[in-house]
Copies of this chain bind each other. A is one copy, B any other.
Amino acid sequence: MNIGEVSHRSGLPAKTIRYYEDIGLILPLRDANGYRAFRESDLHKLRFLGRARALGFTIDDCRALLALWEDKGRASSEVRKIASAHLTAIQTKITDLQLMHATLSHLVDCCAGDDRPDCPILHSLEAPA
């Protein structure tokens, strides 16, 4: 399989796949002409990576998860630990964003948004309530 087909079948851009090889997440073979020769197992890994990334895992998380995935004798507690830590991080982000949203939507509600120069949003940025 060339990179184009793998890209198509994994849903990842070719650039991303090359990058993943660069940082050692995958190690495709090479044809005589220098083209990357992907095995089915490479494709599986790439799909795995795509799903993990879509869940917001960092590349380093992915590296660890991939290693655990390959390690048939691993304990599921390891995986669960990574996932739980990630869950906490996600929750923190959500809370932060919700706070931002509340503050800002309050300001937007206060703002007439017409052609007058008086703007409560700017006032608040100037000195918070």
Task: Tell me the A residues contacting B by CB distance below 8 Å.
Answer: 44, 47-48, 51-52, 55-56, 65, 68-69, 72-77, 79-81, 83-84, 86-87, 90-91, 93-94, 97-98, 100-101, 103-105, 107-108, 111-119, 121-122, 124-128
Q: Is the CB of A79 within 8 A of B126?
A: no
Minimum CB distance partner of A115 in chain B: B75
Across-interface contacts of A48 in B (CB, < 8 A)? 125-126
Alpha-carbon gap, A100 to B52, bound state (A)? 10
A79 to chain B, nearest CB (A): 5
B125 adjacent to A76 (CB under 8 Å): no
Complex copy number for this chain: 2
Q: Known contacts A108-B87, A125-B65: does B77 contact A114 (CB below 8 Å)?
A: yes
A66 to chain B, nearest CB (A): 9
- B104 and A83 form a contact (CB under 8 A): yes
- Asked whether A73 and B117 contact (CB < 8 A) given A68-B122, A83-B111, A125-B52, the answer is yes
A97-B56, A126-B69 in contact; A79/B116 too (CB < 8 A)?
no
